[in-house]
Amino acid sequence: MKYIYGPVPSRRLGLSLGVDLVPKKVCSYNCIYCQIGRTTLHTIERKEYLPAESILADVREALEEWAGEIDYVTISGSGEPTLNERLGEIIKGIKGMTEIPLAVITNGSLLFMEEVREELKEADLVLPSLDAVTPAVFETINRPHPALSLERIIEGIRDFRREFRGEVWLEVLFCRGINDQPEEIRKLKEVISEINPQRVHLNTVTRPGAEDYAFALSAEKLRKIQQEWGEGVEVVTDFKGCSRRTIIDRLEEKILKLVAIRPVTLEDLSRTLGVRELELVKTIEKLLHEKRLTFRVFNQRIYYEAAQALENS
């Protein structure tokens, strides 16, 4: 399954089956905090970056495998999903397969386009982001495509909230020294009050980002902003624990089955299992620590294999 990752435990959505609609780092922003790295194709051109039919086939296969265990099917991925011009067809296709709620995580930059708002209407939940409301701060933290206007982006998010019958959860990600100044926080609160999303999620940097000057806010500072902003605002914390054991157990089992057949690299595991390398690392480290997995280096690449296989070689 090329276009699916997970299911992975999500801080906001429980056990989430991720769906990629664009290749890695095809985006309208080049955010300094992005954990996937710098944008490689900076664009606002909408086209079929990945084939809709293949995406839907992968979703169907994953739903059959994980029936009854997934909390959300989540369109997000490694770039900006609303850039795929067949977004609406893909959403309708997934909704026709399952009653599991469908969420779309977007940077919100293309919501000023009427066709994008229309295509998203079939989703159950849309999670746009808004990290700044003054142009200078916006340019610094999100580094948008030159054709984008902050005013139009805010207007697009506001229009979408008014038109959409599902839930809108707005995320604000704070970087220390960038968008955490009192005046920016005050203006953000004003604009978000006008948008009136059902929920506001406050977040900060939790992993290395595209730039080494993207620093996290303290938990204390985030809680202070939460208190100032009032009802409906929450600091997004760790994922829901109820499904974590399930996903780890299944992932361990799949890894061990693969390495029992032949030695594999981290890249092999990611591609075969449809799980991002970042999500695999902790499980691999656990299996190594428990001596159920081992590794060897060949041609400057690390290959993982079953611990018993190495003992017998």
Just give the CATH number of 241-312.
Answer: 1.10.10.10
Between the ranges 151-160, 237-246, 267-276, where is the mean pLDDT highest? Answer: 151-160
The pLDDT tens digits for 10-61 are 778 888 899 999 998 999 999 999 988 899 999 999 999 999 999 999 999 9
CA distance 228 to 281: 38
Confidence (pLDDT) at 241: 43
Count Cβ atoms below 10 Å from residue 175 Cβ, excluding itself: 24
What span, in angstroms and rounded, lies between the C-alpha atoms of 146 and 132?
16
The pLDDT value recorded for residue 243 is: 47
Query: Crossing angle for the helix pair 150-163 and 182-195, nearest 10 degrees?
Result: 40
Confidence of residue 310 (pLDDT cuts 50, 70, 90): very low
- pLDDT average, residue stretch 266-290: 83
pTM of the entire predicted model: 0.79
Where are the chain's structural domains?
Answer: 4-235, 241-312
Class of domain 4-235: alpha beta
